[in-house]
Amino acid sequence: MNKRVVVTGLGICAPNGVGLSNFYEALLSGASGITFHQELADLGFGCQIAGKPEIAESLKEAYFTPLQLKGLNSSGVVYGVMAGTDAWTDAGLGKAGKDKPDWDSGIIFGTGILGIDKLRESIYLIDDNNSRRLGSNSVMQTMASGISAYLGGILGCGNQVTTNSSACATGTEGIIMGLERIRLGKAKRMLVGSCNDSGPYVWGGFDAMRILPANYNTNPRDASRPMSASASGFVPGSGAGALVLESLESALERGARIYAEVMGGAVNSGGQRGAGSMTAPNSEAVQRCILDALSDAGIERSEVDAINGHLTATSKDAEEIRNWSEALERSGKDFPYINSTKGMVGHCLAAAGSVECVAALLQYREGLIFGNRNCRDIHPEILEFVDASRIPQNTISHRSKIMAKASFGFGDVNACIIFKEFKEM
């Protein structure tokens, strides 16, 4: 018998809000975290705007020791440690004592690439025949699993501590991996989440692919336009989101606050076959992933009343909507409420799934569906499947029972999770 799994803690480091209360206020009012970056203009980027969490140096001191701060040049580590530590605290959990780890708590914290600025710093030293000057911290700041390793040490987790990576599906995939571990009784608690570095060395490759908007450098807050007819590419973002997943038993025993139950999830790949490719999703795989998630969750298509989409603000948005509509066999006014967090934070890449799940779960806490920023001109192909009333422009009151969240990534990979309102029996 599988254990039931609930969410008991949230942490966030997002472009439009660092810390849960700031993030919530921003989502509520539809505040954008997309800003112009002079650095990108100086480097000749077409897209000179991005979503980057603003972190004061003094705030870092609350999360890192002076030794950890020395030579720290990995934004992903900063975002991930802040979000992960906050989620742990939000769940009412403490750090393990000095001599013994917490064997029942583990971490799956994903990333795309970690510490790219540190890597650049290191490469310059090495090319200058000066590798001896790297010191001891270039490895832990640039190994992909650096983020789970930092968090593991800070919190003292003694269960599985690892890092997953599946491009823009990373965050959502990690939650499903944590869910499975707790279900099987292999852990009581899993800190799951993901982070993504900020800066030109992360975003440059996407700019080179010409898939970022280049016409919003003077009005950055209007640039990220999921589901809009005038969407012209995704706005690169960064940050981290984190959730504490816990067996229902453990949560009830501790008297922890429960945001929602994680009913199930699924991951798959389109195999880069059919219409699928390295960069484009195979629709059949997307629909299968949604249906597999529902089946895993034991939930009927008709029960889904809210969706937080992947919806990046590219020409693929209409295709995603069609996939939801066909998979759920729902359309028009019968379609669930749907929103995209990316209108406010941009596309946080590997951090997207976790940042957006935190947003989705805050909707449970507050009984709301956050509004869609920048989509007053809903794409006509989307309106063929969904009535405009199901795409709220502003935050509305709605107590969701069943919410679906999906993320899709390069490599034709998909992840979908089903959350359910939690009510004490």
Partner 1 sequence: MVDNEERLARLKEIVKTYLPEDVPIGNVELESNFVTELNINSAHLVDIILDLEDAFGIRLENDDMDKMQTVRDALNIIDQKLLDKE
Taking alpha carbons only, the member of 44, 87, 81 closest to residue 60 is: 81
Tokens matching residue 251: 């949560």
In the DSSP assignment, the letter for residue 3 is P
Residues 289-328 that bind partner 1 (CB under 8 A): none
Smallest distance, partner 1 to C-beta of residue 319, A: 49
Residue with smaller CB distance to partner 1, 67 or 425: 67
* Interface stretch with partner 1, choices 108-116, 133-141, 314-322, 381-389 (CB under 8 A): 133-141
The DSSP-derived string for 281-293 is --HHHHHHHHHHH
Binding partner 1 (rule: CB under 8 A), the pick from 137, 163, 196, 269 is: 137
Of the two residues 137 and 269, which places its CB atom closer to partner 1 in the complex? 137
The DSSP element (H or E) to which 189 belongs, if any, is strand 189-196
Residue 77 CB, nearest approach to partner 1 (Å): 17
Nearer of residues 73 and 283 to partner 1, judged by Cβ? 73
DSSP calls for 101-124: -BTTEEEEEEESS--HHHHHHHHH
Give the alpha-carbon dihedral of 17, 19, 20, 23, to 10 degrees. Answer: 0
Q: Does 129 bind partner 1 (CB under 8 A)?
A: no
Residue 137 or 172 having the CB closest to partner 1: 137
Of 20, 25, 26, the C-alpha closest to 7 is 20
Q: How far apart are CA 232 and CA 17, in angstroms?
A: 24
Is residue 130 within 8 A of residue 70, CB to CB? The reply is no
Q: Write the binding mask 263 to 282 for partner 1: x where contact by CB under 8 A, - elsewhere.
A: --------------------
Of 61-69, 103-111, 320-328, 399-407, which part binds partner 1 (CB under 8 A)? Answer: 61-69
Q: For the chain, how big is the Rg over CA atoms in Å? A: 20
Alpha-carbon span 12 to 35, nearest angstrom: 19
Sign of the alpha-carbon dihedral angle for 49, 55, 56, 60: negative
CB 136, min distance to partner 1, A? 5
Total of chain residues touching partner 1, rule CB under 8 A: 10
At its nearest, how many Å lie between partner 1 and the CB of residue 71? 8
C-alpha–C-alpha distance, residues 318 and 34, integer Å: 23
- 66 near partner 1, rule: CB under 8 A: yes
Out of 56, 67, 278, 425, point to the residue binding partner 1 (CB under 8 A). Answer: 67
Does 97 participate in binding partner 1 (rule CB under 8 A)?
no
CA distance 63 to 56: 12
Least distance (Å) between residue 135 CB and partner 1? 5
Of the candidate residues 65, 129, 218, 397, the single one contacting partner 1 (CB under 8 A) = 65
Q: If binding is defined by CB under 8 A, does position 135 make contact with partner 1?
A: yes
Which member of 1, 58, 98, 423 binds partner 1 (CB under 8 A)? 98
Q: Which residues of the chain form contacts with partner 1 (CB under 8 A)?
A: 65-67, 70-71, 98, 133, 135-137
